[in-house]
Amino acid sequence: MGYYDDHSPATQQQKKSRRFMMPTLIGIVLGAVLILLALPALVQTNLLPYSITTPNEENEATDNEGTGISSEKVEVDVNTQITEVVEEVTPSVVGVVNLQSQSNFWDEQNGSEEEAGVGSGVIYKKEGGEAYVVTNNHVINGASEIEVVLSDETRVPAELIGGDVFSDLAVLKMSDEHVTKVADIGSSENLKVGEPAIAIGNPLGLQFAGSVTKGIISGKQRAIPQDFNNDGQEDWQAEVIQTDAAINPGNSGGALINVEGQLIGINSMKVAQSSVEGIGFAIPIDSALPLIEELEQDGQVSRAFIGIEAYGLNEVPTSEWENTLNLPDDVEGGLYIRSVSQMSPASKAGLEQLDVITELDGEPVEDIIDLRKYLYEEKDPGEELEVTYYRDGEPNQTTLTLDTQE
């Protein structure tokens, strides 16, 4: 038996070739790496007869030929019309602090004044060393003292001249020593849905004083029901401007302005539901101005008064329309009288309990809101009012002279 021996001359030659091949490959790799590292430096010294273009430079080159993505430099001027308007208007928007007496447990005579709430306001007038601020009535409701906080954080004591629950407006008076700006009054009559609107105020308190939100006019003459005594029944319907500019608690009483910097509304309320966003409301300035002037002069808004407690027939079971009120079938709505105040215009005109009012000056009325809107917006104290009513199923008419609501 023999063994195979691979030590032939040809096999030994192949092994020598492999020993020399490995160092050669390593040298080639190292040389390539050195060349790649040194190449950019050689190009910068112009020692090579060609140039290298990076991908970014290539894109810029193709851009110049109109075939790539634009890489033009864009200069942005942040000093736009809106920023200029906001800068101009902001000093006329203030914080309104409602201070209420808090009795001391040990000594009720030495109670302290504590902050009960914070809202916003707008300085609309300077005259005779005094400045006048309009805000929401609910902002200062129950206040024993009021402070106005200017845009530079100066605090000024203010006096309540008058407030009105139905319009949710109140007027304050203070020293004009530190007042530098009065709002430019615009008009809400010709507002267009879709035009820009800017809200300025103090959402969530003075820590966010002078906050600015921008949106559009979302709607005009929106009717929003109001329940003043929290009995679940509507007492009034406020006609307001709707905007999607963010309005939050603390914005109440602040300014809604247009792009010209003119005051077009007094921010008043917001639909506060988790499922609702971008719906805020403001009192139109054209509706607010006559009331502001009346509050400034008289301390209250004088409204016509007839002296009845009344409810809409829609609040009465239909079975009672015939059984108790004796109404004919052709009466489809109206206002039944629950009580009549003594010596009131209604009492003097002969109106009685369970009478059903259907028309005022020939205009149909359905509920208490219809009655109030007609009296407050169409009539003045001292004027006559023709009332059409049913008693025991028979139609009647009477004329009364309106008095002033106390």
What secondary structure does DSSP assign to 8-56, as a single string? -HHHHHHHHHHHHHHHHHHHHHHHHHHHHHHHHHHHHTT-SSS----HH
State the residue range of the domain holding 122.
Answer: 82-175
- Domain with residue 319: its CATH number is 2.30.42.10
Question: Quick check: 163 and 175 in contact, CB under 8 A?
Answer: no
Residue 76 covered by a domain: no
Write the pLDDT tens digit of every residue in 293-302. Answer: 999 999 999 9
Q: Which residue has the higher pLDDT, 137 or 232?
A: 137
325 phi/psi in degrees, rounded to 5: -90, -15
**pLDDT greater than 70 at residue 70:** no
Write the pLDDT tens digit of every residue in 131-187. Answer: 999 999 999 999 999 999 999 999 999 999 999 999 999 999 999 999 999 999 999
**pLDDT, averaged across the chain:** 82
Write the pLDDT tens digit of every residue in 79-112. Answer: 578 899 999 999 999 999 999 987 655 555 555 7
Residue 377 covered by a domain: yes
Q: Which of 252, 355, 370, 403 is catalytic?
A: 252
Question: Quick check: 84 and 212 in contact, CB under 8 A?
Answer: no
Residue 170 covered by a domain: yes
Residue 69 covered by a domain: no
Burial class (CB within 10 angstroms; exposed 0-12, middle 13-18, buried 19+) of 40 = exposed
142 and 211 together in one domain: no
Residue 72 covered by a domain: no
Q: Any catalytic annotation for residue 152?
A: no
Q: Any catalytic annotation for residue 252?
A: yes
Residue 27 covered by a domain: yes
Question: Quick check: 315 and 304 in contact, CB under 8 A?
Answer: no
What gap in Å lies between CA 351 and CA 224, rounded to an integer? Answer: 31
DSSP 100-167: EEE--SS-GGG-EEEEEEEEEEEEEEEETTEEEEEE-HHHHTT-SEEEEE-TT--EEEEEEEEEETTT
Q: Which of 138, 244, 287, 367 is catalytic?
A: 138
Domain C-terminal end among 298, 328, 355: 298
213 and 294 together in one domain: yes
Which of 142-146's residues contact partners 24+ apart within 8 Å by CB, and which partners?
Answer: 142/98, 142/100, 142/116, 143/98, 143/99, 143/100, 143/116, 144/99, 144/100, 144/101, 144/113, 145/99, 145/113, 146/96, 146/97, 146/98, 146/99, 146/172
Angle at the Cα of 23 from the Cα atoms of 17 and 27, rounded to 5 degrees: 135
Q: Read off the pLDDT of each residue in 361-374 and give the average, rounded to a whole number.
A: 91
46 and 132 together in one domain: no
Residue for token pair 């809409």? 312
Angle at the Cα of 67 from the Cα atoms of 66 and 73, rounded to 5 degrees: 55
320 and 349 together in one domain: yes
Pick from 261, 400, 285: nearest CA to 344: 400
354 sits in the region (left: phi over 0; alpha: psi -120 to 50; else beta) called left
Domain C-terminal end among 298, 326, 341: 298
Report which DSSP code applies to 251. Answer: -
Question: Quick check: 387 and 396 in contact, CB under 8 A?
Answer: no
342 and 386 together in one domain: yes
Residue 156 covered by a domain: yes
What gap in Å lies between CA 270 and CA 277, rounded to an integer? Answer: 9
Q: Which of 164, 168, 244, 367 is catalytic?
A: 168
Domain C-terminal end among 235, 268, 298: 298
What gap in Å lies between CA 142 and CA 140, rounded to an integer? Answer: 6
> What percent of the chain lies above the pLDDT cut of 70?
76
Residue 211 covered by a domain: yes
Q: How many domains does the chain have?
A: 4
308 and 294 together in one domain: no
332 and 393 together in one domain: yes
86 and 124 together in one domain: yes
380 and 308 together in one domain: yes
**pLDDT greater than 90 at residue 216:** yes
171 and 259 together in one domain: no
Q: Looking at the DSSP assignment, which residues form a beta bridge with residue 157? A: 147
246 phi/psi in degrees, rounded to 5: -60, 125
42 and 87 together in one domain: no
What pLDDT, on the 0 to 100 scale, is given for residue 230?
A: 78
